[in-house]
Structure 1
Amino acid sequence: MTDNGARRNQRPVVADADEQWLVGVAAGASRDAGGVPVALLGDYLPLLADAAITGRKPKRAELDAVEALGRRAAEQGISAGRVVQLYLSAARRLWQDLPEVVRSRDREAVRAAATAVLQVVDDAVATLAEGYAVARRDLVRREETLRRELIDDLLRGDSDLGALVERAEPFGLDLARVHQVALAAPSRRLPDTDAAITALEAVIFDRLGDRDVLVATKDGLLVVLAPADANNPDTAPPQRTAADDLGRLMHDRLRRLPRGRPWQIAVGRPHPGLYGIARSYEEAREALTMAARLRVASPVVSARDLLIYRVLLRDQPAIVELVHAVLSPLTHARGGAEPLVTTLQAYFDTGGVATETAKRIHISVRAVTYRLERVHTLTGYDPADPAHRFTLQAAVLGARALDWPEKPLPASG
């Protein structure tokens, strides 16, 4: 027997004269639920009427049909609350307008009819909600897959522009605008992805709106694509920008999560167009890598602030030669070159103030002075001499960019 034939055999035994009455009940319930399509009721009303008249419980196949209606409602984008309201309103209206054949019975009969109706309502609504939830999970998984594929293609920057514009539109992205990319790196493994994404979306959508914003994961990092000022980023003033604000906004929210702390956020510079997204992403990745090499403790780093290292590394053979010529004698010091390079970096970062240097690297001022003298003795460059300071500082910057002395210097040929 076909499914349609089985359904016809299972339809409730409601008289044809009452069909118009049920149509009116369905229309009223639809209005109560804000215009939810009557078709989503399926055979629910005849099931209720049949339960009231005969006491019959719905069969498994009939409940399966209700579950399918719940899935259809989710796929149509109708909220779960409105669909449930449709079913509850239909039950209320049916009971209020039940024909005299039921309403005129004695008390026990009415009680039995009410119990049967409530049982159908309970089973149907629970089954409807289950079908809706299953469909929503499928839709979320499908959307997450599309989101992940889109973000991968956007960050790679070599995909077909026309296809990407079409795929980005459902996510509210205008690829002609100026965007920036921020990356959030957890201290260890990325924690609960869904919780982190939800937390970021809540605060970023509240601050920036839900258009031109995309939150996803890639390579163990949280990725945020957000709009930036429409001003030309190459002529933007050097003061704090929306990029810095985005980084602080992300860090403030992520640090409240129970796992993943401490987080470090890297924000790429804003650039226009599709290829600007990929460029901003690469800058953010480089900023994270450089921050790790430089042992930057700041929770938010900006690609703009690390541009000097990109400049240094553009001519790697030259910077390798500089580091080797200026700093390699430090390897002969007791304890190796690292303590002396660390002291030089802190000394330059604090404006050449020995007391602040001592506080920053947790040693005594006398130890700072001793180390600076050792640098002068071994290299011939005096950190306190303005004529020598630039050479030493450039060499230290290059050493950190190359991760020296932790790693050997690359071949300069």
Structure 2
Amino acid sequence: MPVSERPFPPSSRKAQIPVADPDTVERLKSKIGALSTATLQQLDASLPWYRGLRPDERSALGMVAQKGIASFVNWYQRPVSPAWVLSDVFGTAPTELTRSISLQKALQLIRVVVQVVEDRVPDLAADADQGALREAVLRYSREVAFAAADVYARAAETRGSWDTRLEALVVDAILRGESSDALRSRIAAVGWQSQARITVMVGSSPPEPNALFLNELRRTTDRIAEDTLVGIQGDRLILVLGGVENNESTYSRLSDLFGSGPVVYGPESESLVAASGSAQAAFAGLTAARAWPAAPRPVAADDLWPERVISGDDTARKALIRNIYRPLVGASNGLEETLSSYLNLGHSLEATSRALFVHANTVRYRLRRVCDITGWDPLLPREAFVLQTALMVGRLSQPSPGPAERPVTRP
């Protein structure tokens, strides 16, 4: 386990620890093996969780306990030694130990080691030197406890930094549309569990997204989503959300955490690997959102289909054809003709009925059928604009008429 040596100032350590008795030091050296054996036996007898560890974990902890006793002897003999207990005791322990053994359990182990040594003080020192040895044991146990806390803090910091980098890699891979075994491995490593209702929200990041902002962001998303990935790329904030319930209110709450400007969320995806489509739609919507100043905040990327088409987004063009134009053309009762006439005649029911030679109630019925089939209501101005855009891009997608089909103009 990589650690840094931090020796205490010699003057302060020499003032705290009395000079060790040579006879006591020799007894301690001769009893290191016996103390180590007694410590391992006591660990097995008094700590149930120790007995349940894997053999490699028991071996690593046993090595820490033995190194702790040997280090105490050296420390007691030369308290100003530059080999500080942090590296001397925990230097041989594997990094994975901090993942399987909590800090609380590590402190329990230290307590057992100290108790074993303290119980044997009468056998290790003369009567006159027992008080000094007990004091040294207590001081050393304090140093080891602080060293253990330092080791776990460093390990947690390292894991936190690595998790942040791994999260950034996953978000970047989703934005770029990767679908590889490496991405699936990274998704598993970040602990993502959701397999449905996955969407991507994008917008501007706050001016200074510090650690406090990120903590507040994660606390908020943890309450309203099963899984969350956070990415900050320059002035853009990206949220990948999984298992979101009550989408409209959830997205509205999350939009307050973004910076100024529009906030766009993409359509739901079935898996995190497939979320690149949601991310691409959200970013396309973010680019086109300024063309609709009255857009709600947040706004769905699909609500920005017309603006996205005008800005050159081919995905939005295909979506309009697939979801609106083709269903209308394939429907009966002349829905496409009725909608086209209604839009061209200034949204007038009476003018449309006269142009089509049908009753006004028939026009109303057909327009309701348009809403049922497409999900967009032609009686609402904004949704009528979406429908009109779908008609235009749909007609442009049809093959041009051949020479025989073109009208002949005579001079």
8 Å contact 2:35–2:117 — kept in the other structure? no
Residue 177 (structure 2) pairs with residue 166 (structure 1): no
Q: How big is the shift at 1:315? A: 9.4
Cα drift, residue 152 of structure 1: 0.8
Q: Say if 2:204 is the partner of 1:181.
A: no
Provide the residue aligned with 1:265 in structure 2: 263
Tell me, yes or no, if the aligned pair for 2:203 and 2:237 is still in contact at 8 Å: yes
Whether 1:132 aligns to 2:152 is yes
Residue 109 (structure 2) aligns with: 86
State the distance in 2 between where 1:242 and 1:42 align: 56
| CA separation of 1:144 and 1:32: change in aligned 2, threshold 3 A | same
Give the secondary structure class of the aligned counterpart of 2:201. strand
Counterpart AA for 1:167: R
Larger radius of gyration: 2
SS at match of 1:13: helix
Cα pair 2:184 2:273 within 8 Å, conserved: no
Task: Answer whether contact 1:148 1:216 (CA < 8 A) is retained.
Answer: yes
CA contact (8 A) 2:264 2:285 kept: yes
| Post-superposition offset of 1:303 | 1.9
Superposed CA RMSD in Å reads 4.1
Contact 1:48 1:91 in 2 (8 A): no
Asked if residue 196 in structure 1 is aligned to residue 213 in structure 2, the reply is yes
Judged with a 3 Å threshold, the aligned counterparts in structure 2 of structure 1 residues 227 and 56 are, in CA distance, closer, same or farther, namely: same
2:29 to 13, 28, 34: 13
Residues 163 and 57 (structure 1 numbering): CA distance in 2 closer, same or farther, change over 3 Å? same
Which amino acid letter does the alignment assign opposite residue 105 of structure 1?
D
* Aligned-partner SS, 1:269: coil
Kept in 2, the 8 Å contact 1:29–1:90? The answer is no
Taking every aligned residue pair, what percent have the same amino acid on both sides? Answer: 18
* Alpha-carbon separation, structure 1, partners of 2:239 and 2:95: 32
| Aligned equivalents of 1:307, 1:217: Cα separation in 2 | 26
**Structure 2: stretches of 5+ with no match in the other structure:** 1-25, 315-379, 390-411
Q: Are 1:65 and 2:88 matched, yes or no?
A: yes
Tell me the residue number matched to 1:410: none
What is the CA deviation profile of residues 129-171 of structure 1, one whole-angstrom value per residue up to 9, with x for unaligned ones? 32333333222222222221121111211x2433322221122
Q: How does 1:3-402 map to 2 (within 5 A)?
A: 13-15=29-31, 16-28=33-45, 30-31=47-48, 37=58, 38-39=61-62, 40-48=64-72, 57=79, 59-61=81-83, 63=85, 64-68=87-91, 72=95, 76-95=99-118, 97-102=119-124, 105-106=127-128, 109-157=129-177, 159-173=178-192, 177-187=196-206, 189-192=207-210, 194-210=211-227, 213-228=228-243, 242-252=246-256, 254=257, 262=260, 265-273=263-271, 276-296=274-294, 298-311=296-309, 313=311
Distance change in 2, residues 1:129/1:84 (3 Å): same
Does the CA-based 8 Å contact 1:47-1:58 persist in structure 2?
A: no
Distance (Å, rounded) in 2 between the aligned partners of 1:196 and 1:183: 16
Change (3 A) 1:174 1:390: closer
Whole-Å separation in 2 of the counterparts to 1:154 and 1:129: 37
Q: Distance in 2 between matches of 1:175 and 1:17?
A: 53
Question: What is the CA distance between 1:281 and its match in structure 2?
Answer: 0.9
